[in-house]
Amino acid sequence: MPIYEYCCQDCSARFEKLLPLSRAHEQPPCPECSGGKTRKLLSTIAAVRSSDGSGAPPVSVGGGGGCAGCSGGSCATCGH
């Protein structure tokens, strides 16, 4: 079961959640502010996806987080 990482767009909290693949599309509420505006981060799950030799290699994995739109530092998308 993969671990997904989320960041809250309301309070910028980051948290991890174990979800089966069948529920991977769900957005768990933020444990800090109970807000529902959480965003899945790609840092963890991106490693699982293997590109089938169709084009570019996967974007760099790791680096400690950041949401889909940011590279760890400042991000307008997740309010960080």
Binding positions for Zn ion, rule: CB under 5 A: 8, 10-11, 13, 30, 32-33, 35
Cβ proximity to Zn ion, 19 vs 28, nearer residue: 28
Distance in Å, CB of 78 to Zn ion, minimum: 10
Task: Please choose, from the candidates 41, 7, 1, the residue with its C-alpha nearest in 3D space to the C-alpha of residue 21.
Answer: 1
Beta carbon nearer to Zn ion, 33 or 70: 33
How far apart, in Å, are the Cα atoms of 22 and each of 39, 47, 62, 79? 18, 18, 24, 28
Residue number, 10 or 68, with CB nearest to Zn ion = 10
CA distances in angstroms from 54 to 4, 6, 30, listed in the order given = 25, 28, 36
CB of 61 to Zn ion, least distance (A): 25
